[in-house]
A and B are shown apart, each in its own frame.
Chain A
Amino acid sequence: MKTLFKQTALAAMIGLSTPALASVAYVSNEKDNTLSVIDTETQEVLETIDVGQRPRGILLSKDYTKLYICASDDDTVQVLDLATRKIVDTLPSGEDPEQFALHPNNKHLYIANEDDAIVTVVDVDTKDVLAQIDVGIEPEGMAVSPDGKWAVNTSETTSMLHWINTETFEIEKNIVVGQRPRHVEFSKDSKIAWASAEIGGTVHIIDVDNLEQIHEMSFKVPGVNQDRVQPVGIELTSDGKYAFVALGPSNHVAVVDAQTYEVLDYLLVGARVWQLDLDKDEKHLYTTNGVSGDVSVIDVEDMKVIKSIKVGRYPWGVVIDPTS
């Protein structure tokens, strides 16, 4: 009787951890060398997967069958098969890959090599290195516009956005922004790019047609010393209504009107909020909080933090598989 119950429970647990059944979020834990897999319905950790050393940037292939992982201290990009949740391959990445971005062609992976001041472009199918492009010191943020025309890299110590033509792999424009630019996010129509500057405390809005800055945002979190307000991750809703900006050690996420660039609210999350991602119907926003070692879940309709989920040490990146 008892044994039978146990077996049923076990079967149920195995059932739960089968990828196809649950919508899941993947979180890279920088100082644990693991990924936490979170069930977005129960908002609990399903599984913890061992990966390479110092995993930071993570992203999904365009067909949602693979997860790419920057294993920074292994100088490689690992490929996780989503069906089996096993590491099935590695890609050449150049040294110390931190962030990367996949071209809409699902083939060209743009990798920022933080220690080498270059961006490496790899074909994920052939594993050929297509180009290495000299950029500023400490390349960090990487983004490719949804229309595939531009790859943008941020260099932290040089404080620039480098605009790389994806056909020629050449830099066509450098835009100086605030100190320590970290992340770039494009609007769905590829017309606007949002770039965060961590130490500058600013977010720069770039008109992509003219490659000119059209607006500069700053933030004031009540009761928080100004130099702790450090914008890092940015996430945009697809309806063009909201932008969410993770404000690092201020432990807040700013909710921004994506049309007027006005800050609507500041939401208190865990300590040193880093990256964020929306779930598939954009009802919930997940944030990684490095110092507190957890993920906060924000209800987008109510603009309230509804849960925090304990993950590994120093969670860095988060992506949610919209097909699961």
Chain B
Amino acid sequence: MSFLSRTAATSLITLAAASPLQAENLDVRIGYLQWVPDQRPVLSNVIPEPEDAGLRGAELAINDNSTTGKFLGQTYSLQSEVADSEEGAIAAFDAMRENGFDLFVVNAPASTLKALTEKAGDNTLIFNAGAKDDALRTGQCHVNLLHTMPSYSMLTDALGQWLNQRRWDEVFLITGPTEADKGWADAFRRSAKRFGLEIVEDKPWTFDADLRRTASKELPLFTQASDYDAVVVADVRGDFGEYVPFNTWLPRPVVGTQGMSPVTWHRVVESWGAAQLQNRFRELADRDMNSEDYAAWAAIRSIGTAVTDLNSASTVDIRNFLFSDKFQLAAFKGRKVTYRDWNGQLRQPIPLVHPRGLVATAPFEGFLHPNTEMDTLGFDRPESKCRING
């Protein structure tokens, strides 16, 4: 059985090209900035994170936008800078702005993001595709800053809802030493309160032994408690967390940043057409699509969706469109996703995954909200001080 490949076919047949509808061309230029600080050595260094996480998602979205654009006389281009310091990222930002760029996707820590937004002019639109800090969504908002990356609290609320609906409501929390670990754990403590979970033990991770040799000896002792339904790990960079499953004192599941995790995106998501997105990404990048890739992809696809409708690349028009009723993005998560008008956060379902399978997708039925169930994840309007649309 010979199957017909794209290249083989072109030589055999006439390729019918589509003629653009508009004569004049609209070129949409987008800047991508990445600055990811060194994560420091980790105990669990078996599966390293890809260094181009985020960038390749941005590239895929440019391809997706361009395919649509060719029917409408619109072209998209990406200028990317993977910086090795905050100064480098800011310098690249300045240089691109001088060259007339005003649409940016940024995968960088919150402090870098703040420095960029402060420098940005009124006509600049920045998409945060990296920082999960809740502070960026509850108080330190900026009129021209949108977030396609979910916040820590959106992720932990997804986990909290799941634990609640499983009735696994007594948990043992282990928190790592980094700022990110504390951010994740603080978000989880808030989720626990919201969804009626009891944190029976709340222990910081202080060990510095090499767990590849001693995990089986150290972790059972560390997780001793009279009873709990699950162990929750807050270890964002993946230092010790991979060693917690199967090494707990009681025979209990491990959830959180390891074990079963709430994520923005993962290779096991395949429903709602996601299999096609995963295939396209794998063809482009020769690896699986991850959360950073997805957040950058969603940002640039948001821009593309707006430009398709508006036939304009004005940042003011795009911003207005993204917050209007007309904006809807098919984001392969089973529901259309939209932006929260108070803080610019992209509402989105959160998959709960283990390394080889999808467990469930939050929000879950029964967690009610007067406007949309998706606002049961993360800081809702009354809980946030931000009002970026007045």
Known interface pairs A95-B6, A157-B68, A227-B372; A133-B330 also in contact (CB < 8 Å): no
Tell me if A76 is interfacial: C-beta within 8 Å of chain B.
Answer: yes
Of the listed stretches B9-17, B97-105, B195-203, chain A binds B9-17
A76/B1 in contact, CB under 8 A:
yes
A158/B71 in contact, CB under 8 A:
yes
Q: How many residues of A contact B (CB 8 A)?
A: 49
In the bound assembly, the distance between CA atoms of A170 and B18 in angstroms comes to 7
Contacts of A76 in B (CB 8 A): 1, 3
Of the listed stretches B86-94, B238-246, B273-281, chain A binds B273-281
B308/A129 in contact, CB under 8 A:
no
Across the interface, B17 reaches (CB within 8 A) one of A129, A134, A136, A201, namely A134
Q: How far is the CB of B168 from chain A (nearest CB, A)?
A: 25
Q: How far is the CB of A261 from chain B (nearest CB, A)?
A: 21
Known interface pairs A129-B4, A132-B10; A160-B16 also in contact (CB < 8 Å): no
Across the interface, B328 reaches (CB within 8 A) one of A160, A176, A200, namely A200
Tell me if B120 is interfacial: C-beta within 8 Å of chain A.
Answer: no
Contacts of A180 in B (CB 8 A): 273, 330
B276/A138 in contact, CB under 8 A:
yes
A75/B3 in contact, CB under 8 A:
yes
Which residues, 169 to 201 on A, are CB-close (under 8 Å) to B? 169-171, 174, 176, 178-180, 198-201
Contacts of B305 in A (CB 8 A): 159, 179
B1/A90 in contact, CB under 8 A:
yes
Q: How far is the CB of A121 from chain B (nearest CB, A)?
A: 9
Residue in chain A with minimal CB distance to B327: A179
Tell me if B334 is interfacial: C-beta within 8 Å of chain A.
Answer: yes
Interface residues on B, range: 35 or more
Tell me if A251 is interfacial: C-beta within 8 Å of chain B.
Answer: no
Contacts of B334 in A (CB 8 A): 249
A160/B68 in contact, CB under 8 A:
yes
Tell me if A131 is interfacial: C-beta within 8 Å of chain B.
Answer: yes
Residue in chain B with minimal CB distance to A169: B16
Chain B interfacial positions (CB closer than 8 Å to A): 1-6, 9-10, 12-19, 21, 64, 67-68, 71-72, 273, 276, 279-280, 283, 305, 308-309, 328-330, 334-336, 372-374
Supplied contacts A95-B3, A171-B16, A227-B372, 6 more A-B pairs, CB within 8 Å: A93-B3, A96-B276, A137-B280, A199-B335, A200-B328, A227-B374
Ordered nearest first, which 8 A-B pairs have the shortest CB separation? Answer: A199-B330, A158-B68, A180-B330, A179-B330, A227-B335, A171-B18, A170-B16, A174-B71
